[in-house]
Every structure is written in C-alpha cells, then in structure tokens.
Amino acid sequence: MPKAHLKLVIFHKGRRIEKPVADKRKLVEAYRKLKATDGVKVAVVSVVRAYWPDIDYEIQDGMWWCPYCRKPRYFSVPRFKPGADVMSEQFYLNYQSRNRIRICQWCRISEDDFHVRRMNRLTGHEEARRRRGKRKPLTRRT
C-alpha cells in the first residue's frame, strides 16, 4: 500500500483528529463529506511537500503562510500538559511550549522549520545572494 503524503485534519467538538489518506479519490470524497457537516472544520495538509503562496503574501498580525496547509494560519505556543510519554505528540507539544516556540495548530509544524521561515521572510537572507568572483587563471608551479 502506498504511503500517504496527504492527510485530513479535522477539528470537531474541541478535538483534533488526523486521518492519513493514500488514495486521492477517497481524500476528495471524505473532504467534501466532512465539509458539508455542520460544526466540523476540515483541511487537507501535506506531510512532505511545502507549497509557496500563489500571490505575493504579506505577514499579518499573528498569521503566517503555512507551506504545508497552503493557507495563512495562526501560529501560537501550545499549552503545556504534564505527564506525556517520550516520543508522543504531547511530548513534542510540551517541548514547544517550554521553549516558547509557535506552531501551526493544523499541521503542527513549528516556526523553526526552514520552509516556514523562508516563505514568511523570517530568515533575514531573502535578498542576499552568493556572488562569485572571476576565476583566477591556473598557474604552474615550477
């Protein structure tokens, strides 16, 4: 069975649910069905690929472009919940909370991700580019 590169993220009754889907047809059907349901927020999130915005996007108050959700999203520091097992999602969220690192609430990517920083102009190296000088001619040593 092929590995799922996209997943459905659902917010329903205060709970966050992830459902990886390998088949795109099933993904579209499930998305449309959930979108029609009242009280359910649903989004398709990429697991491996980052997407650039289609238009020239400007940073708004607290909203950044999320390259995995493909939408402007709020990045916020998660709440700390004690008693999380090592290598669990809550352990990851507690680490982000202790270090005051903001994450996207939909896809759980942190602000330290390369693509998030690059697409939201947070790196400070957007305009800088590498310049090469002229090559020196080879000389033989005798």
- pLDDT tens for 46-99 read 888 888 887 776 767 778 889 998 888 888 888 888 887 787 888 888 888 889
pLDDT recorded at residue 131: 57
Question: What would the mean pLDDT of 23-30 be, rounded to a whole number?
Answer: 89
3-state secondary structure (DSSP) of residue 116: helix
Taking the domains of the chain in order of start, what are their residue ranges?
A: 1-49, 52-123
Say which residue the tokens 């580019």 belong to: 129
Q: Is pTM beyond 0.85 here?
A: no
Q: Please, what is the Cα angle at 5 between 107 and 126, to 5 degrees? A: 60
pLDDT recorded at residue 117: 87
DSSP class per residue in 24-76: HHHHHHHHHHHHTSTTEEEEEEESS-----SS----BTTEEEETTTTEEEEEE
Among residues 13, 10, 75, 14, the alpha carbon closest in space to that of 43 is found at: 10
pLDDT recorded at residue 132: 60
Question: What would the mean pLDDT of 13-33 be, rounded to a whole number?
Answer: 88
The answer to whether residue 35 scores a pLDDT higher than 70 is: yes
Helix/strand/coil percentages in the chain, nearest 5: 20, 25, 55
